[in-house]
Amino acid sequence: MKKIFLIMSLFLVLGGVGNSLYAQKGVVEFYMIGGPERFDFTPGIIKYEPGGSTGVGLKYYVKERLYCTGDMIVSMSAHTEYSDGRRHWAGRRDVYYSTIGMGYDLLKTKTISMYVQNSLGIGYTNFSYPVIHYIYPGTNNFYYDDAYGRVPSWTVAPSLGIDFKLSDCFKAGVAYTGRYLYLFDYAQALNLKLSFVFH
């Protein structure tokens, strides 16, 4: 993370002194994103394997390089198996969330734009994992069962990305996004991004 913020600071300085900066007030971008995602929160005794996320969103430039944004994202862990040597269980985690926020282009040239943004929203998590049930407390007589749950939450999603202009109407890029659900649950994703630009 320190390297990421160092790079952000570098581009902020370059964006401030660069000679090839371009404003685009009133421009609308519709984008699609998708890529691998890692989950750092693990309920129960199972550790979810990294999965992926996908979604769509909109950007609207309200002032030169300042824009508002909104998106809808679905992220899923990989099908994860757990075993104690006698029995196998499968766990899975799906997260659905929608956010709105603001962003700023730190650097913009004719072909490249680098931005930072932060969004707030709501979402919920569907998950399954194995739990231990002791038949007699204090003994080794127990069995496993599958538990399922749904947890609604607020969401904070800071993001740093870079876009490359393909034509007047298309952009392609990559974005790193961190996502907080409550304060204890954090996930991070590295997404590819395809944008359609409406002038």
CATH number (domain holding residue 34): 2.40.160.20
For residue 4, the model assigns a pLDDT of 47
Over its length of 199 residues, how does the chain's per-residue pLDDT go in tens digits? 444 433 444 444 444 444 334 556 789 999 999 999 887 755 555 567 788 899 999 999 998 889 999 999 998 876 666 555 555 556 677 888 899 999 999 998 889 999 999 999 998 877 776 666 666 666 566 666 666 777 777 888 999 999 999 999 999 999 999 888 765 677 889 999 999 999 8
The model's pTM: 0.73
Run of H or E including 16:
helix 2-17
Residue 185 belongs to domain spanning: 2-198
Count other Cβ atoms within 10 Å, centred on residue 124: 14
Distance CA(127)–CA(7), nearest Å, equals 35
Q: Is the Cβ–Cβ distance between 102 and 115 less than 8 Å?
A: no
For residue 118, the model assigns a pLDDT of 94
Distance CA(112)–CA(97), nearest Å, equals 29
Domain count, the chain: 1
